Amino acid sequence: MNFHFNLGTRLFLWGSFSVILFGGALFLPAGTWRFWQAWVFLAWVELPTIAGSIYFYKHDPQMLERRLQMKEKVPEQKRIMRFASALFFAAFLLPGFDRRYGWSHEPLWLTILAQAIACAGFAVSWWVPIVNRYASRTIQVEPEQRVISSGPYRVVRHPMYISTLVMFLFTPLALGSYKTAPAFLFLVPIIVLRLLNEETVLRRDLPGYAEYCEQTRYRLIPYVW
């Protein structure tokens, strides 16, 4: 039996699933609700997500439709994302176990700084779809799509990935778990592989993208790569 839900219902279901999934991955391994770092983390992830979803639901529902698409069409991306999802979920469980067993004794200033940096990285992920309404979770080029070179795209060609990278690298520190940080480093080559494959698709299918690459030299990190 096929169920067809409208956009508002799908947003509600996806948001509820996200809260349950991330909350469970943090609090169940911790074995306690007394995990203030996790509460703060969930607040700055979920509250802006709700606000952003409401904004785009009113002003650009088609962009939200793209963001809700999860099925990759490019075979290489299917394999990359399968592995990335499993690796991220496994790494994301570790700070909760750290809270339970007390592996890390992180200073408060480092936790607060990491929360701020990770939150700033997450903010960029909402700036990107404001500038580029074709920003999608999946790698695809639509017939009417055009190259975007304004906003964060003036600095790097893949601002969504640098946002994700900053979040990944500072998440364990934001959760008071510096000893689990090395596990999150394994996500860096996954992002690089996904980015390189995406550029291959965009150079092939998106008119003007090769010229844009000549104009904006840096893929991910300004003045580095």
Separation CA 188–CA 26 (nearest Å): 22
Per-residue pLDDT averaged across 100-128, rounded?
A: 92
pLDDT class of 42 with cuts at 50, 70, 90 = very high
Task: Give me the pLDDT at residue 74, please.
Answer: 76
Confirm whether 44 is domain-assigned.
yes
Answer yes or no: is 74 within a domain: yes
pLDDT above 50 for 31: yes
Count how many domains the chain has: 1
The better pLDDT of the pair 102, 142 is held by: 102
- Provide mean pLDDT across the span 104-131: 91
Residue 1 has pLDDT above 60, yes or no: no
Let me know if residue 222 belongs to a domain. Answer: no
Kind and range of the H or E run holding 184: helix 181-185
**CA neighbor of 124 nearest in space, from 92, 151, 88, 89:** 151
- Rounded CA separation 72/79 (Å): 9
Model pLDDT for residues 151-198, shown as the tens digit of each residue = 899 999 999 899 989 998 999 999 999 999 999 998 899 889 889 988
So what's the pLDDT on residue 169?
92
Give the tens place of pLDDT for each residue, 208-217. Answer: 999 999 999 9
Res 4: pLDDT: 57
Percent of the chain at pLDDT exceeding 70: 98
Which pLDDT score is estimated for 115?
A: 94
Is 156 inside any structural domain? yes
* Structure tokens given for 44: 């700055």
Cα 163 to Cα 123: distance, rounded to the nearest angstrom: 8
Please state the pTM of the whole predicted model.
Answer: 0.86
Residue 14 belongs to domain with CATH number: 1.20.120
**For position 2, what pLDDT does the model report?**
43
The answer as to whether 1 is a domain residue is: no
**pLDDT tens across 56-105, in order?**
888 888 877 777 777 777 778 888 888 888 888 899 999 999 999 999 99
Is residue 31 a contact partner of residue 101, using CB atoms and an 8 Å limit? no
Domain that residue 193 falls in: 7-135+145-215
- Residue 149 covered by a domain: yes
Tell whether the model's pLDDT for residue 128 goes beyond 90. Answer: no
Provide the pLDDT for residue 39.
96
Q: Is residue 85 part of a domain?
A: yes
